[in-house]
């Protein structure tokens, strides 16, 4: 992996375990935020070797779909999971009127782990160089 990608992947590796710890403590809304971040870091990591960096989360999510899912490099369910995680993270971070349900947090953690496993494998196969 190229240098800028490595710190994102290293951060990504800590986020799912942090999310699981938070679920174990009943902090489901914070767990959702960590699960989303794991996915977001990898979406950024896969875009960087192609020279793509964006200041907004929505732009990263859109570019991930356009450049990796649409051409068939990565499965469509990953883009759907990333979009769902973004929405759920917003609810978890900013929707303080109600408590966040454990079941939704656990579902998101499962989807985040699938995202992480698949994109990390893709990064390893591509050697971090990306396609041009």
Q: Are the C-beta atoms of 47 and 63 separated by less than 8 Å? A: yes
Task: Supply the pLDDT for residue 69.
Answer: 97
Task: Supply the pLDDT for residue 94.
Answer: 85
Task: Supply the pLDDT for residue 127.
Answer: 67
- Ordered by start, the domain boundaries in the chain are 5-126
The pTM (predicted TM-score) of the whole model is 0.87
Chain segment 58-112, per-residue pLDDT in tens: 999 999 999 999 999 999 999 999 999 999 998 888 887 678 899 999 999 999 9
Task: Supply the pLDDT for residue 131.
Answer: 46
C-alpha–C-alpha distance, residues 132 and 41, integer Å:
21
The share of the chain scoring above pLDDT 70, in percent, equals 91
Contacts of 61 (CB under 8 A, 6+ apart): 43, 79, 82, 83, 86
CATH tag for 5-126 (out of 1.10.443.10, 3.40.109.10, 1.10.510.10, 1.20.120.330): 1.20.120.330
Task: Supply the pLDDT for residue 129.
Answer: 46
> 20-29, 35-44, 89-98, 114-123: which has the minimum mean pLDDT?
89-98
Q: At what angle do helices 5-24 and 102-126 cross, to 10 degrees?
A: 160
């Amino acid at each position: 992996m190229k240098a800028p990608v490595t710190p994102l992947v290293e951060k990504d590796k800590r986020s799912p375990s942090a999310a699981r710890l938070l679920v174990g403590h009943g902090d489901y809304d914070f767990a959702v935020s960590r699960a989303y971040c794991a996915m977001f870091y990898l979406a950024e990591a896969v875009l960087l070797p192609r020279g793509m960096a964006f200041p907004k989360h929505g732009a990263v999510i859109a570019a991930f779909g356009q450049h990796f899912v649409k051409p068939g490099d990565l499965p469509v369910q990953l883009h759907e999971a990333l979009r769902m995680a973004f929405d759920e993270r917003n609810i978890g971070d900013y929707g303080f009127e109600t408590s966040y349900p454990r079941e939704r947090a656990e579902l998101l953690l499962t989807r985040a782990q699938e995202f992480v496993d698949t994109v990390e494998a893709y990064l390893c196969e591509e050697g971090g160089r990306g396609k041009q």
